Structure 1
Amino acid sequence: MSNDLLNAACPVCAHSIAARFFPAGEHSLATLAWPSSAKAARELPRHPQDFVQCPSCSHVWNHRFRYDAIPYESNPNRMFNSGGIWKGHLALTRDLLLNHLPAAPNVVEIGCGEGHFVRGLAQVRDAGRFIGFDPNASPETGHGVEFYARLFEPLSDMATFAPHAVVIRHVLEHLKEPARLIEQLAWGAASQTHACLLFAEVPCIDRVFETGRLADFFYEHVSHFTTESFRALMSRAGEIITLAHGYDGEVVYALVRLEVPAQARARAQAAASFAARSAISRETIAQQLSSLARSGKRVAIWGGTGKAAAFIHQFGADAGRFPLVVDSDQQKAGTFVPGTGQKIEYRDVLKTAAVDVVVIPTQWRARDIVAEMSREGISAGAVLIEHDGSLIDFASETHPY
């Protein structure tokens, strides 16, 4: 069994172990090479196709895929949209989406290609804003819709365009990290004042397992979705309203209400709050250290590596103003603080040359260090630690250490 498993993170659910599925060999691009002659076709570069499957969510992908092998900017991905049954599927899914939208919606389609789907939405609704994004423009793309020849950036563009719906059709199978886009859309929608839907559609390989067919697998499609793995991906976007199959089961699509769990939003808000406080803390403590340097007091920083070095870096305790760094570990004596270059002295140097202030960056060790100072006859006018955004006196001020 171990020979059939490998270390490869699933692009849908992030499970870290994959099972070998279809070692397809090395072949040229199948849809986006566009060779201009038989000779050019035969000389196309070959790319490795080694498909694996996630044992957790059932997703299949080429774990040796490289995105830079695909010439999307010069050769756009074209879909055949003229088949009668396919046209019926397009009409059904357009109606499904429109039935959940306001009378004059903002709709964004990511990877719109020639724009036939978003244009079809605009033709049904005579009011609203219909926008397509694709890094490659074609002569048909901009007809009847607003078009941007670039990638859609969810975290900024969701705020700019404020869509009621985002459409991603036959794009996710081309992405090396589809979950990244899906989750970023959810976070982008969380900043909007109104709700936003996601309509996504991909080819479905459920029938591959029934029939053993292999023509589904080619290089441009890095990801191959089962119904189960598509559901797993859509659940990362929010609440699934509809998940169904079309075109005789060959595609699977979903309508999802984009949302981020309350707990995750709360954590993000807490992180942003911490970031704001950390900026203030860095400035405050840097100013306190500058005041100490200007005061003429002799200052020793106790600890010169690891988190003590991080303290020296974060608050600008440079070697010119704070040359004295000591450590309890005799083996560190004679080495230098990474990045700033103070020579680390053994703590006994403080026995013969008293200091006015000892700064202990590692607060949780402060009680031990103070006891060590007392035991070794090392005295200082004050011992300072970092706490709650400033340097405080370890002996006289309140702290949890």
Structure 2
Amino acid sequence: MEYLELYRQDEFPVFQNRMYDSVAEARGCPRGDIRIVQDAETGLVHNAAFDPSLMHYDSAYQNEQGLSAQFDAHLDRIADLVLALLGTEGLVEVGCGKALFLDKLRRRGADITGFDPAYEGDDPTILRRVFVEDLGIRSRGLILRHVLEHIDDPVAFLFRLAAANGHQGLIYIEVPCLDWILENRAWFDFFYEHVNYFRLSDFRRIFGRTLYLGRSFNGQYLTVIGDLASLRRPAFHPDDKVVIPEPFLPEPHAFSANAERQTVIWGGASKGVIFSLLRERAGTPVARVIDINPRKQGKYLAATGLKVEAPQTVLGDLAEGAEILVMNPNYLEEIREMGGPKFQYRAINDGGV
């Protein structure tokens, strides 16, 4: 297989959203290498160093975003789209997680079943297993939110889903947007967990027929509704070559310029984990981490061992005018409102340090 290498990093945490009970445990977390490449045959972008045998999710994995009003509004908009184009009858969500989106659809009248081996609740309509052909379930619409970026061979996986659904029906897919990462030089958005990185052009080549193609969550996500009967293996086109902007990582002097300032970040999820790790490697470590998720608070981030704290704990220690770096620009106004006018808030995007 011929690849074009785009970006590399070593010793990234395998699970950036797994929380740890001690600094030592967090620093000793499983790690893997990043070799982001574009496949010369399919044109798809993935981590060529990815080892699926390292991926074992458990209850210590915390990726709940529903606590944010901004994210909940995003889910409402996606629910509108899904119900308008897929209908309300016979829906299946593959990889439904904690069933946040599934419950939202059901409250709007959807007849929906969920599949996720890691589901922890007691809803009898959610099966703790993968969606496979031998189940004999035929859905009018499959839902695949933030699953495909974690799958080692995404096109083969889509073909398996199509087979399980009788090679018919529609599928809603939501994944992070590679173009957003590149446009914003978001070096903190490449993770080991995300083996794949997609663009809208990829889905135009994967599906012969799509009902919807667009970007959502202020451009950070791709939203796609495709016809499973039109699924095909994509082929690379020279015009579709991925180009990493230069410089992609900040210059060393950009990190060192902040060396004398205590760095406080708001956001102890994926972006915050990688931002903190590369800041530490540059010799300008993050000092404090804020997150509103109570299941993260008091726990420690993978790789750096930074403790996640509640907003009130950190804000009470900061001097007036202190700067807080917001890990996701989508949450900037929401965080400014929560934190109050005493501090300065700056979103980390466009290669920010």
Q: TM-score band (shorter)?
A: 0.5 to 0.7
AA aligned to 1:253 is T
Instruction: Map 1:247-286 onto structure 2 (within 5 A).
Output: 247-260=217-230
**Which residue in 2 is equivalent to 1:220?**
193
**Which residue in 1 is equivalent to 2:134?**
156
- Cα displacement (A) at 1:45: 3.0
Aligned partners of 2:173 and 2:225 also within 8 Å: yes
Aligned partners of 1:58 and 1:228 also within 8 Å: no
Q: Against the structure 1 CA distance between its residues 58 and 83, is the aligned structure 2 distance closer, same or farther, given a 3 Å change threshold?
A: farther
Q: Against the structure 1 CA distance between its residues 75 and 133, is the aligned structure 2 distance closer, same or farther, given a 3 Å change threshold?
A: farther
**Which residue in 2 is equivalent to 1:136?**
118
User: Structure 1 residues 76-85 or 93-102, which shifts more?
Assistant: 76-85
User: Structure 1 residues 73-82 or 61-70, which shifts more?
Assistant: 73-82
**Which residue in 1 is equivalent to 2:172?**
199
User: Secondary structure of the residue that 1:89 maps to in structure 2?
Assistant: helix
When Rg is computed on C-alpha atoms for both structures, the one with the higher figure is 1
**Which residue in 2 is equivalent to 1:8?**
none
User: Secondary structure of the residue that 1:87 maps to in structure 2?
Assistant: helix
**Which residue in 2 is equivalent to 1:120?**
104
The two structures, once aligned, show a CA RMSD in angstroms of: 2.4
Q: Against the structure 1 CA distance between its residues 99 and 46, is the aligned structure 2 distance closer, same or farther, given a 3 Å change threshold?
A: closer
Identity across aligned pairs (percent)?
Answer: 27
Question: Are 1:186 and 2:162 counterparts?
Answer: yes
**Which residue in 2 is equivalent to 1:284?**
none
Q: Against the structure 1 CA distance between its residues 37 and 49, is the aligned structure 2 distance closer, same or farther, given a 3 Å change threshold?
A: same
Distance in 1 between residues matched to 2:197 and 2:87, nearest whole Å: 33
User: Structure 1 residues 27-36 or 219-228, which shifts more?
Assistant: 27-36
Q: Which of the residues 186, 193, 213 maps onto 1:243?
A: 213
Q: Which of the residues 172, 176, 181 maps onto 2:148?
A: 172
Query: Structure 2, unaligned stretches of length 5 or more?
Result: 233-353
**Which residue in 1 is equivalent to 2:63?**
78
Q: Which of the residues 90, 98, 101 maps onto 1:106?
A: 90
Larger RCO (alpha carbons 8 Å, 6+ apart): 2
- Cα displacement (A) at 1:56: 6.0
Aligned partners of 1:137 and 1:149 also within 8 Å: yes
**Which residue in 1 is equivalent to 2:277?**
none
Aligned partners of 2:209 and 2:230 also within 8 Å: no
Aligned partners of 1:77 and 1:113 also within 8 Å: no
- Cα displacement (A) at 1:76: 4.5
Instruction: Map 1:359-370 onto structure 2 (within 5 A).
Output: none
Q: Against the structure 1 CA distance between its residues 17 and 102, is the aligned structure 2 distance closer, same or farther, given a 3 Å change threshold?
A: same
- Cα displacement (A) at 1:156: 2.4
Q: Which of the residues 176, 181, 184 maps onto 1:208?
A: 181
User: Secondary structure of the residue that 2:156 maps to in structure 1?
Assistant: helix
Distance in 2 between residues matched to 1:102 and 1:49, nearest whole Å: 39
Residues 158-194 of structure 1 show CA distances to partners (whole Å, capped at 9, x for unaligned) of: xx22211110000000000111121122233346xxx
Equivalenced residues, count: 232
AA aligned to 1:151 is V
User: Secondary structure of the residue that 1:218 maps to in structure 2?
Assistant: coil
Query: Structure 1, unaligned stretches of length 5 or more?
Result: 1-15, 263-401
Distance in 2 between residues matched to 1:101 and 1:42, nearest whole Å: 44
Residues 222-274 of structure 1 show CA distances to partners (whole Å, capped at 9, x for unaligned) of: 111122224333x1xx5211011101100001111221589xxxxxxxxxxxx
Distance in 1 between residues matched to 2:104 and 2:231, nearest whole Å: 33
TM-score between the two structures when normalised by the length of structure 2: 0.60
AA aligned to 1:94 is A
